């Protein structure tokens, strides 16, 4: 048995997992036990910070355009797999016998998984336990208004709360969700989910840290950054650490490693990534939620190139907002060269002190604990 049953499905990157792991740890710090049902491809480098992890029959997206679902071997998945997944998920829920269900993104994302999530919501509703959605600050906008309305309808029918991991001082959930006014009583802005950094003596900053999130995308940025070092007047002799991410294609990783210039170290991942960022002179990355939170938490000068394939708009939109606030230097991959990237790295400055809440994990844990105890 567990206090909280958490559903997480990563398809391309692992940003959702990192954010949920911080929330899970905060819930455990509040004395709650956590069972995670994970539908993504298992990876030894992923830590859900849970008491128990149930691995569902795994899947990933077929490509960066999210055109379909496939198994880890690249085989397209159909109705038989869906039925198996639904059975596994409901069995995990029953075995967990939780006091609360927390679903990441759905119904504001993961619509392709409604075949198993609607039955899960029905089961939780029948059990009479609270149901919460954990969702990031910005959604990818839908071209079809009917899909957006469907999100509001599902939220109204099943959810007890929509915990938005953002701060209305910067912007509210209504910026990217037009039907927010239909569920105002459900929406709670928790603040951003950012890592709690250790306080202590100020560390001198040196070198450049380049990262590509989970590594499923971002190869072009990695290769541009490697070539940019020789064009940097400020950091051309400094140490550069390149972190590809665990899902960076193996063949491409080997090819990059074979031709790596002196002064650059290539990593699959760094267990002390945030500490490395705190000591870096400049961070170069895509503009995912978690990387931005690392920048804000460590106050590291940052150059960011948002991922914008497959209709993904949220990285670009969030990055544009924080760029205007003076938090990051924002670049567009189209037309970007090693020379122009080097110039931006040389010009990068410490982030402006933007006053937004970064204690979203702790607030989420407090809300969940309160709902379980019947105090909300």
Chain center to CA of 44: 18
Lowest-confidence range among 148-157, 180-189, 323-332? 323-332
Model pLDDT, residue 310: 53
Over the stretch 9-67, which tens digit does the pLDDT of each residue have? 988 767 788 899 999 999 999 999 999 999 998 877 788 999 999 999 999 887 665 66
Domains of the chain: which residue ranges? 4-192+358-372, 208-347
Q: What angle do CA 249, 255, 258 make, to 5 degrees?
A: 140
198 SS3 class:
coil
Q: Write the Ramachandran bin of 335: left for phi over 0, alpha for psi from -120 to 50, otherwise beta.
A: left
pLDDT score of 201 more than 60: no
Q: How many residues does the chain have?
A: 376
Does 4-192+358-372 match 208-347 in CATH topology? yes
pLDDT average, residue stretch 240-249: 86
- Type and span of the H or E element at 187: strand 187-189
DSSP code per residue over 3-15: SEEEEE--SS-SH
Over the stretch 132-161, which tens digit does the pLDDT of each residue have? 999 999 998 888 899 999 999 999 999 999
Give whole-number Cα distances, 262 to 16, 32, 226, 283, in Å.
34, 48, 10, 19
Model pLDDT, residue 376: 47
Percentage of residues of the chain with pLDDT beyond 70? 94
Residue with tokens 């990387």: 291
pLDDT average, residue stretch 229-245: 94
Under 8 Å between Cβ of 58 and 302:
no
Over the stretch 206-233, which tens digit does the pLDDT of each residue have? 999 999 876 556 788 899 999 999 999 9
Percentage of residues of the chain with pLDDT beyond 90? 68
Q: Write the Ramachandran bin of 191: left for phi over 0, alpha for psi from -120 to 50, otherwise beta.
A: left
CATH superfamily of 208-347: Glycogen Phosphorylase B; (3.40.50.2000)
Nearest-angstrom CA–CA distance, 264 and 268 = 13
Tell me the fold of 4-192+358-372.
Rossmann fold (3.40.50)
Nearest-angstrom CA–CA distance, 19 and 192 = 10
Model pLDDT, residue 264: 96
Radius of gyration of the chain, Cα coordinates, nearest whole angstrom:
21
Residue with tokens 């929509």: 162
Nearest-angstrom CA–CA distance, 46 and 9 = 13
């Amino acid at each position: 048995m567990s206090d909280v049953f958490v559903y997480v499905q990563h398809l391309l990157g692992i940003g959702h997992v990192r954010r949920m792991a911080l929330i899970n740890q905060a819930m455990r710090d509040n004395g709650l036990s956590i069972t995670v049902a994970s539908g993504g491809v298992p990876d030894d480098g992923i830590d859900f910070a849970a008491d128990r992890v149930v691995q569902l029959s795994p899947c990933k997206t077929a490509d960066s355009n999210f055109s379909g679902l496939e198994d880890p071997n690249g085989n397209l998945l159909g109705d038989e797999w869906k039925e198996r997944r639904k059975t596994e998920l409901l069995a995990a829920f029953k075995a967990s016998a939780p006091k609360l269900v927390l679903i990441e993104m759905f119904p504001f994302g993961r619509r392709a998984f409604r075949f198993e999530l609607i039955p899960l919501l029905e089961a939780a509703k029948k059990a009479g336990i609270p149901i919460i959605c954990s969702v990031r600050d910005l959604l990818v906008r839908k071209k079809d208004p009917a899909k957006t309305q469907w999100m509001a309808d599902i939220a109204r029918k099943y959810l007890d709360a929509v915990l938005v991991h953002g701060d209305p001082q910067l912007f509210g959930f209504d910026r990217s969700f037009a039907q927010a006014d239909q569920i105002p009583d459900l929406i709670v802005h928790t603040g951003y989910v950012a890592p709690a950094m250790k306080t202590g003596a100020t560390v001198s900053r040196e070198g450049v840290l380049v990262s590509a999130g989970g590594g499923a995308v971002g190869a072009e940025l990695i290769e541009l950054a490697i070539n940019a070092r020789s064009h940097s007047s400020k950091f051309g002799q400094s140490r550069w650490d390149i972190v590809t991410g665990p899902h960076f294609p193996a063949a491409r990783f080997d090819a990059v490693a074979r031709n790596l210039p002196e002064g650059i170290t290539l990593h699959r991942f760094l267990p002390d990534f945030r500490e490395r960022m705190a000591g870096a002179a400049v961070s170069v990355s895509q503009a995912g939620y978690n990387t931005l939170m690392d920048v804000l938490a460590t106050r590291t000068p940052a150059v960011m190139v948002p991922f914008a394939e497959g209709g993904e708009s949220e990285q670009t939109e969030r990055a544009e907002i924080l760029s205007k606030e003076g938090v990051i230097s924002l670049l567009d991959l189209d037309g970007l060269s090693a020379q122009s990237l080097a110039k931006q790295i040389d010009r990068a400055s410490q982030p402006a002190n933007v006053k937004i809440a970064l204690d979203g994990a702790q607030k989420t844990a407090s809300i969940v604990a309160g709902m379980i105890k019947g105090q909300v």
